[in-house]
Amino acid sequence: MPSNRDDDDDDNSDGTFSYTAAEAPLFDAVFRFLKSATYEEKRGLIAEHPLLLTPAAGSMLDRIAEAHNRSGSPESADTTAAWAEFLEHCREHSFDYALAYSAINELFVGLPDNPGVWGTYLRTIAQREQRLHTPDADAALGDFIQKMIDDDVEPVIAPLEGLRGMLRQVRARA
């Protein structure tokens, strides 16, 4: 999918992604970030390549996601967009905030269909999910709750606020 180019033609309607020679160092860093397997590898790459925390990196990830969509790979596009959001959170807050926000997204996606078991599910999360036992996680959960309020996802707001309270209790006992 990626290719290097020397012009500024962004059409690429065939689903390919191209970049200029000047963008090559950024592309290499973004590509390595996307291919890294662990969060610790990603942390190291961000430290090694601070350009990953620039708006240009976010723009490049957006272009890669668009290329995935054009090539008929919406799952890859969604994954790339999620990593763009992760880097944005790193840039605006911290790596640990981004890590916590990612964990919160995962638990939200894993929320059981039956609201009757949400309490048990969230209590288990509060005890086991170490990424959520930090002040950065508290800030991320607060922002996530605000996003749910803004998006008018009323049924999950109270349970998420309950989770936030449980996590604060776990941190206070530690």
How confident is the model over 137-141, as a mean pLDDT? Answer: 96
Query: Is residue 7 over pLDDT 50?
Result: no
| Residue with tokens 């191209």, as numbered in its chain | 18
pLDDT tens for 81-119 read 999 999 999 999 999 999 999 999 988 888 899 989 998
Spacing of C-alpha 141 from chain mean position? 13
Name residue, tokens 């970030």.
33
Q: Has residue 46 got a pLDDT over 60?
A: yes
Chain segment 117-138, per-residue pLDDT in tens: 998 999 999 988 888 999 999 9
Question: How much is the pLDDT for 8?
Answer: 43
Q: What is the pLDDT of residue 13?
A: 56
pLDDT of residue 60: 97
Distance CA 16, CA 135 (A): 41
The pLDDT of residue 130 is: 87
**Domain boundary assignment for the chain:** 2-92, 97-173
- The pLDDT value recorded for residue 10 is 46
Query: Do you know the residue count of the chain?
Result: 174
